[in-house]
């Protein structure tokens, strides 16, 4: 083996190293964690800031990587052909093609891309300064390719929508949760924030039949007893009928003025705001904040009261149930020893479907509405019905609605 052969072998090995570098850089810049590098850049890490800049200017970077990768692969292939031809004559071209293809695939493509993906943040920081120099050296070639790209973009117009959808963001949250980047509580909070604007007032209101309210003409003694027995801090006030709620009285204002002569309910009423069932709860929250009130009355298309919503109801959709020392803790879903669940029928229907890993669209909002729609009547205790793989037993009802059910989930049939 001559000195010339040794130099060619060394050059081929060096070209394979460059090929591995370009392949790993391409994958690392695509896979890096933007949020983590932003935090590092904010802390003064210049390499992290440069890597982020490279990722944002990916078109020019990928052009540089592709030009460099093709140059080193062509040089390696040419030298390989020359080397094997010197050794084996005309058969050397075929042997060189086979050997270089295997070497480039293993050491120049597959292995570096795997490593680049697994160590994306650290490798992109290592690679960024080198790429910046190469981008300056190859700037004329990059400019030509950029003009070609613009021409292609005009010829083949893309119809893909830009930006990130809510579904894509939810997928990112699930991936971060499964990889340990965030815990389950943080993931649940983020999902609740993403879905927050999808909820209407009708989804979270306290229905009319569950409203505890007082008549404007009720004696003060009756109002005091309602405050003491129910533990509410505010009570809606209606005139003649609950369909005509005119305001709200606060417990603190009531007991401060209770012993004062001439005190009436009318003198203690604070204004209340009104909302429609289709109003988004994000808009309703802003309305409550601007009006400095904690309760809204949801009215139907006929102007009657459909229900009420408090500030606490809205916030609970973000952070979960908020209990104070006066609340009676009620679990909507209670697991039994036999694997069944006792479910309060005021529970949200989507939460019940989620509990049983079912993705269904249904007109009803509550479990009670779902049961009544399925049975097409007001059931009585002891009634049963089946819904897909669920067996449902009615446990408690009243004259107007279902109060409690017990549900068994039967195993799903195995698919062939």
Residue 115: CB atoms within 10 A of its CB come to 16
Contact predicate 92/81, CB 8 Å: yes
State residue 325's pLDDT score.
Answer: 52
346 and 216 in one domain? no
Helix ranges (DSSP H) in 156-280: 166-178, 184-195, 201-204, 220-230, 251-257, 265-268
Indicate whether 267 belongs to any domain: yes
pLDDT at position 413 over 60: no
116 and 210 in one domain? no
304 and 258 in one domain? yes
Res. 327 pLDDT band, cuts 50 70 90: low
pLDDT at position 376 over 80: yes
State residue 371's pLDDT score.
Answer: 92
pLDDT at position 149 over 80: no
Res. 322 pLDDT band, cuts 50 70 90: low
405 and 377 in one domain? yes
pTM, 2 dp: 0.51
Indicate whether 414 belongs to any domain: no
Query: How far is 236 from 251, CA to CA, in rounded Å?
Result: 11
347 and 305 in one domain? no
Domain span including residue 385: 333-409
Between residues 324 and 182, the one the model is more confident about: 182
Between residues 239 and 149, the one the model is more confident about: 239
Indicate whether 66 belongs to any domain: yes
pLDDT at position 406 over 90: yes
Average the pLDDT over 377-391 and give the result: 90
Indicate whether 415 belongs to any domain: no
Res. 416 pLDDT band, cuts 50 70 90: very low
User: pLDDT averaged over the chain?
Assistant: 83
Q: Which helix (H) or strand (E) holds 389?
A: none
Between residues 341 and 162, the one the model is more confident about: 341
362 and 267 in one domain? no
Indicate whether 328 belongs to any domain: no
218 and 133 in one domain? no
Query: How far is 124 from 18, CA to CA, in rounded Å?
Result: 15
Query: How far is 171 from 119, CA to CA, in rounded Å?
Result: 22
3-state secondary structure of 257: helix
Indicate whether 17 belongs to any domain: yes
Query: How far is 74 from 79, CA to CA, in rounded Å?
Result: 9
Pairing mode of beta strands 305-310, 273-275 = unpaired
Res. 392 pLDDT band, cuts 50 70 90: very high
Q: 162-166: which pairs have CB atoms within 8 A and are 24 or more residues apart?
A: 166/194, 166/195
Could you give the angle at the alpha carbon of 402 between the alpha carbons of 329 and 197, nearest 5°?
65
pLDDT at position 77 over 60: yes
Indicate whether 175 belongs to any domain: yes
345 and 212 in one domain? no
pLDDT at position 164 over 70: no
176 and 125 in one domain? no
Which has the minimum average pLDDT: 313-327, 345-359, 364-378?
A: 313-327
CATH of the domain at 210: 3.10.580.10
* Domain total of the chain: 4
Q: Which two tokens stand for residue 193?
A: 């924030």
Indicate whether 109 belongs to any domain: yes
Q: Percentage of residues in the chain with pLDDT exceeding 90? A: 10
29 and 173 in one domain? no
127 and 15 in one domain? yes
78 and 14 in one domain? yes
Between residues 84 and 319, the one the model is more confident about: 84
Query: How far is 365 from 46, CA to CA, in rounded Å?
Result: 52
Name residue, tokens 């949020």. Answer: 35
Query: How far is 411 from 390, CA to CA, in rounded Å?
Result: 9
């Amino acid at each position: 083996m001559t000195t010339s052969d040794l130099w060619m072998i060394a050059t081929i090995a060096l070209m394979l190293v460059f090929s591995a570098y370009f392949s790993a850089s391409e994958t690392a810049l695509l896979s890096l964690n933007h949020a983590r590098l932003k935090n590092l850049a904010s802390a003064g890490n210049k390499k992290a800031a440069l890597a982020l800049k490279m990722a944002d200017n990916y078109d020019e970077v990928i052009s540089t990587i592709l030009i460099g990768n093709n140059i080193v692969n062509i040089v390696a292939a040419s030298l390989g052909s020359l080397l094997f031809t010197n050794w084996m004559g005309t058969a050397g071209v075929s042997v060189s093609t086979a050997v270089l293809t295997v070497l480039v695939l293993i050491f120049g493509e597959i292995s570096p891309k795997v490593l680049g993906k697994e160590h994306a943040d650290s490798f992109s920081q290592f690679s960024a300064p080198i790429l910046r120099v190469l981008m300056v050296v190859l700037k004329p070639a990059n400019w030509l390719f950029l003009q070609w790209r613009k021409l292609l973009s005009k010829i083949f117009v893309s119809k893909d929508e830009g930006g990130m959808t809510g579904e894509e963001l939810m997928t990112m949250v699930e991936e971060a949760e499964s990889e340990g980047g965030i815990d389950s509580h943080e993931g649940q909070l983020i999902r609740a924030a993403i879905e927050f604007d999808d909820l209407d007032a009708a989804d979270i209101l306290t229905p009319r039949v569950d409203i505890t309210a007082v008549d404007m003409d009720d004696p003060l003694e009756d109002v005091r007893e309602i405050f003491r027995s129910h533990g509410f801090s505010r009570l809606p006030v209606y005139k003649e009928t609950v369909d005509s709620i005119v305001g709200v009285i606060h417990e603190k204002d009531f007991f401060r003025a209770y012993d004062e002569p001439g005190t009436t309910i009318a003198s203690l009423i604070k204004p209340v705001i009104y909302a429609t069932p289709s109003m988004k709860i994000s808009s309703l929250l802003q309305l409550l904040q601007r009006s400095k009130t904690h309760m809204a009355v949801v009215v139907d298309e006929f102007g009657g009261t459909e229900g009420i919503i408090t500030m606490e109801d809205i916030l609970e959709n973000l952070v979960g149930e908020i209990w104070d020392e006066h609340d009676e803790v009620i679990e909507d879903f209670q697991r039994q020893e036999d694997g069944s669940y006792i479910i309060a029928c005021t529970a949200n229907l989507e939460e019940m479907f989620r509990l049983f890993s079912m993705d269904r669209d249904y007109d009803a909002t509550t479990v009670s509405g779902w049961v009544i729609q399925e049975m097409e009547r007001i059931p009585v205790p002891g009634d049963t019905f089946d819904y897909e793989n669920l067996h449902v037993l009615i446990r408690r009802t009243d004259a107007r609605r279902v109060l409690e059910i017990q549900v068994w989930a039967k195993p799903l049939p195995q698919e062939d």
